[in-house]
Structure 1
């Protein structure tokens, strides 16, 4: 399946994995629209992405704004959701419940709102690709909220694949990726990457371009739906 001329909306498409997906699909001739809540991020992405890419500033927590946005966009072929704030990691004993609710708001309820708004505008042979993470099936201490969100998105993917068929609904499940989500000090971040790489069979950390290839696969694979694709360099075996 060719992406040439296909209309793709990427929520969270101005940085990290989402930006890599935007670059990869635009390079294949897709008509890409990136969406972010920050004007500066949209402007920067549009200055770097291929000509013809468009950008929209929208608060993904504002369901009415997202509904209006898809109404303005009209018919589309694919929805990609990669938006997310830095990961919430905290021992249960120290967990701030308000922060936990906020994390769920963007990582789950905004996903649900985006799908609800986009579905009426998706062509029948189109697709939705969501983002989860290996914290769902492979939690670590302090990941109770992050793991819960990942599990919720996995379940949502399967439920939507049944309800929205023949629209295809899948999810990419990255492990540790070199991206802006890991926002702790640089020396600690690099040590974290090195330790993680050493514990995986491939002995490397994923780059955003690696993960973008999985999104392109789902966009172009006409027989994949309800599929959760792990990409963790074999960390599950460690």
Structure 2
């Protein structure tokens, strides 16, 4: 049932009233006993909650907080620093490179994720006050999913901070940074759906001591957040 529903959402998206997730229709499609289905899920809301969880668990970036290519870009930027990482200016360069490349890739990967689109659709409805079937249950599920993402993101930021000689400013921790970055990506992603040209067109910008390079708006925004939330260790 869940596999069939995941395939349907991947093809059609998840409608807020779950109109495309008909229990009887899915039962007929997969040929399972009706009594068994309703013993496991007493109503469609219960099924949709498990479906949303299944969508995220099928997302390859769910266990790490980032998709594979994004992690490779971050670790590649760190590795490229090499022995020069002992110098502050080299560490600053690594941070800029990691953020510039990883965010530019990640915002597209996130926008193309079925799980993320379902998450944003449901969270937007909940925050707007619209009536969403099973709203309390869905809100609790989204809190659980977001919490797991934030912990994984925070773990990656701790690794990056250690590599480039940064620490969180007093009063802040890596989870605060993860929340701020997630909110930034969410906001830019929302506008990207309306005006992708405005968001996806790179800007030639000189940051720090670097020569001008192409930066995505999202990457510049995240870099600003990152450097505001952190400070050099020495």
TM-score, normalized by length of structure 1?
0.28
TM-score, normalized by length of structure 2?
0.28
Structure with greater proportional strand content: 1
- State which structure, 1 or 2, has the greater radius of gyration over its C-alpha atoms: 2
Structure with greater proportional helix content: 2
